């Protein structure tokens, strides 16, 4: 079934995945109208520096704008969130009442930081979250040397902020519910390794406990957090780093399956709850929940930079070639920088049932772990051993589906 | 084709090594090594490596191999 080539394409989400989809559409020969809708007032910018250099660089934060290709020829509708999708009429409605008709639509709304859990609703001033540039600048302003910061959640984002704050000379407490940081994603051994890096840097890491309440001063600003252990930790600022949830609220009435992210088929086409394809609609990046060969075909949304880049390009290819799309099979990869240690991973360590330690050298700050699921390699993690990852990545590719390169974004 | 990598920017992310192992590799200290004048047949791979570099350290240009 071939449909005529799309003439009007709308991209919702003006960030990494949306921009790379738009670039790929033009690179792959799309000459029609291209409209990019963004909730934030900013042109696309890069998020990884927000928990790293933007917090630490002196005297001021570095620029984070993503380069825009000269030939993009797009209409930017910024500061105007999309509020609903009607896939039958093929229109997207924006908050200001604008109705955008489309032939092809890219869903690239990413994810949003999870806020305080219900039990901690209405936190005092000085309790922050981090997802966007404005959040990062507010957090940076709170990182005054000598002050006290509590970070709740020792995942990658929380860990990086704790490390940045330490580097800036703050007293940092890092609170984690699990026995080790990143235990669920990387397993207990790698988690303990990361925990040791935090402690060696002078971070007060409190594991197996949760925040049960906040203390605030008369001025309504946070002064401390209460822990389930009964302890109270003094704090001048608190960062809640409790993970991110796909930004699908605006799709609630669209008839698309959106729990845990927009459900997609292997070609990144959006699906209805009955598994049928929503015509002309693709998804990419953090918002897309895509079948993962390494997870036995289970659908996962990945919050990885490279995933957004590769899916952006692949989603564009699907929109332009609805008759003959190529399945998306890129091997996931992720990085994080912590206390000067280069943490790099390929595949999906989180779906493993076994973590095999290949090298464990705390003094030399080196780690290599191979992850298996039902005896089959599903991922690898290294610290300051990136050179070792290429071989794992090759093995994962050969092990997975037939190697299908998504079209390059350039 | 010519390849240049701004080594002041490179953070050893390895994305280029994954995308174009014929051009990019690491030494034992995770320092990036690359072929500055690869064959033109590797152009697509080189472009892909440049596109996935998170710090945009890679420049691909035409020129004698
Ligand atoms: C602080 C931080 C550090 C990170 N560090 C790393 C790292 O070291 N390594 C790594 O691999 N990954 C990292 N990531 C993850 C990486 O940045 C994301 O995977 C990537 O940004 C995903 O791109 P995206 O375009 O899918 O989503 P996003 O970048 O989240 O962009 C989605 C865009 O859509 C907009 N939007 C949302 N709803 C609507 C709506 N209804 N209408 C219009 N627009 C809307 C949002 O405002 C946003 O601009 C980090 C993320 C953060 C926040
Ligand atoms: S992808 Fe970029 S940062 Fe990573 S190793 Fe290659 S050049 Fe360096």
pTM of the model: 0.94
Residue A89: CB atoms within 10 Å: 11
Give yes or no: residues A366 and A271 share one domain. Answer: no
Q: Where is the domain boundary, A213, A242, A271?
A: A242
CA distance A40 to A82: 11
Question: DSSP letter string over A8-71?
Answer: EEEEE--SHHHHHHHHHHHHTT--SEEEEEESSSSPPB-SGGGGTHHHH-SSSPPP-BPPPPGG
Give yes or no: residues A250 and A106 share one domain. Answer: yes
Lowest mean pLDDT among A54-58, A274-278, B27-31, B42-46: B27-31
Interval B14-33 mean pLDDT: 93
Does A408 map to a domain? no
Residue B28's domain is classified under what CATH number? 3.30.70.20
Give yes or no: residues A224 and A132 share one domain. Answer: yes
Residue B14 lies in domain? 2-61
Half-sphere exposure of A210 (CA within 13 A, CB side): 8
Any ligand 1 atom below 6 A from CB of A107: no
Give yes or no: residues A170 and A121 share one domain. Answer: yes
CA distance A292 to B1: 35
Tally of domains within chain A: 3
pLDDT (tens, 9 = 90+) of chain A, 410 residues, equals 456 678 999 999 999 999 999 999 999 999 999 999 999 999 999 999 999 999 999 999 999 999 999 889 999 999 999 999 999 999 999 999 999 999 999 999 999 999 888 888 778 999 999 999 999 999 999 999 999 999 999 999 999 999 999 999 999 999 999 999 999 999 999 999 999 999 999 999 999 999 999 999 999 999 999 999 999 999 999 999 999 999 999 999 999 999 999 999 999 999 999 999 999 999 999 999 999 999 999 999 999 999 999 999 999 999 998 677 789 999 999 999 999 999 999 999 999 999 999 999 999 999 999 999 999 999 999 999 999 999 999 999 876 544 444 443 33
Does A404 map to a domain? no
Does A292 map to a domain? yes
Any ligand 1 atom below 6 A from CB of A49: no
When CB atoms are compared, the residue of B30, B50, B54 closest to A342 is B30
Q: Do B26 and A331 touch (CB under 8 A)?
A: no
List beta partners, residue B24: B34
Does A3 map to a domain? no
When CB atoms are compared, the residue of A335, A385, A408 closest to B51 is A408
Q: Where is the domain boundary, A298, A320, A342?
A: A320
Does position B40 have pLDDT exceeding 60, yes or no? yes
Give the nearest ligand 1 atom to A16 CA.
Answer: 25
When CB atoms are compared, the residue of B12, B17, B44 closest to A408 is B44
Question: Chain B residue closest to A337 (CA)?
Answer: B11
Interface mutation vs chain A, best among B25, B30, B33, most A CBs within 10 Å: B30
Does A103 map to a domain? yes
Residue A72 lies in domain? 8-112+245-320
B21/A contact by beta carbon, under 8 A: yes
Q: Whose CA is nearest to atom 30 of ligand 1?
A: A110
Residue A260 to chain B, least CA–CA distance (Å): 26
Does A285 map to a domain? yes
CA distance A141 to A135: 10
Does A300 map to a domain? yes
Give yes or no: residues A254 and A351 share one domain. Answer: no
Tally of domains within chain B: 1
Give yes or no: residues A312 and A339 share one domain. Answer: no
Q: Do A410 and B48 touch (CB under 8 A)?
A: yes
Strand A171-175 to strand A204-206: parallel, antiparallel, or no bridges (unpaired)? parallel
Give yes or no: residues A359 and A309 share one domain. Answer: no
Does A35 map to a domain? yes
Residue A192's domain is classified under what CATH number? 3.50.50.60
> What pLDDT was estimated at residue A114?
94
């Amino acid at each position: 079934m071939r449909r005529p080539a799309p003439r009007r394409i709308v991209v919702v989400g003006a960030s990494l995945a949306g921009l790379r989809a738009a670039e790929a559409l033009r690179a792959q020969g799309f000459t029609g109208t291209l409209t990019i809708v963004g909730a934030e007032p900013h042109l696309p910018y890069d998020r990884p520096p927000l928990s790293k250099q933007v917090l630490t660089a002196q005297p001021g934060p570095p620029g984070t704008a993503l380069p825009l290709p000269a030939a993009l020829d797009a209409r930017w509708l910024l500061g105007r969130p999309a509020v609903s999708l009607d896939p039958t009429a093929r229109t997207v409605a924006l908050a200001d009442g604008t109705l955008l008709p489309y032939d092809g639509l890219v869903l690239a709304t990413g994810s949003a930081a999870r806020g305080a859990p219900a039990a901690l609703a209405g936190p005092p001033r000085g309790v922050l979250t981090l997802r966007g540039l404005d959040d990062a600048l507010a957090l940076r302003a709170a990182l005054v040397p000598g002050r006290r910061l509590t970070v709740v959640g020792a995942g990658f984002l929380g860990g990086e902020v704790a490390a940045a704050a330490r580097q800036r000379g703050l007293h940092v407490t890092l609170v984690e519910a699990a026995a080790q940081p990143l235990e669920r994603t990387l397993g207990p051994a790698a988690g303990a390794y990361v925990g040791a890096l935090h402690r060696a840097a002078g971070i007060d890491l409190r594991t197996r406990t949760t925040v049960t309440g906040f203390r605030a001063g008369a001025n309504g600003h946070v002064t401390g957090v209460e822990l389930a252990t009964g302890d109270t930790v003094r704090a001048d600022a608190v960062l809640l780093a409790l993970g991110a949830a796909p930004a699908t609220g605006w799709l609630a009435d669209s008839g698309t399956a959106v729990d845990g992210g927009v459900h997609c088929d292997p070609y990144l086409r959006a699906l209805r709850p009955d598994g049928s394809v929503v015509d002309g609609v693709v998804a990419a990046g953090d918002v897309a929940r895509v079948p993962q060969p390494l997870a036995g075909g289970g659908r996962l949304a990945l919050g990885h930079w490279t995933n957004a880049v590769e899916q952006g390009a692949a989603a564009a290819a699907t929109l332009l070639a609805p008759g003959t799309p190529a399945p998306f099979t890129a091997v996931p990869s992720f990085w994080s920088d912590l206390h000067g240690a280069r943490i790099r991973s390929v595949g999906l360590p989180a779906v493993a049932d076994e973590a095999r330690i290949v090298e464990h050298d705390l003094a030399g700050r080196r780690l290599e772990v191979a992850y298996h699921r039902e005896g089959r390699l599903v991922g690898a993690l290294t610290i300051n051993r990136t050179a070792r990852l290429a071989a794992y990545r090759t093995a994962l590719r050969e092990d997975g589906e037939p190697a299908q390169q998504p079209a390059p974004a350039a | 084709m010519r390849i240049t990598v701004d080594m002041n920017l490179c953070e050893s992310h390895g994305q280029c090594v994954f995308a174009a192992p014929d051009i990019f590799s690491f030494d034992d200290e995770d320092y990036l090594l690359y072929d500055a004048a690869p064959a033109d047949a590797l152009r697509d791979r080189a472009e892909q490596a440049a596109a996935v570099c998170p710090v945009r350290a890679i420049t691909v240009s035409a020129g004698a191999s």
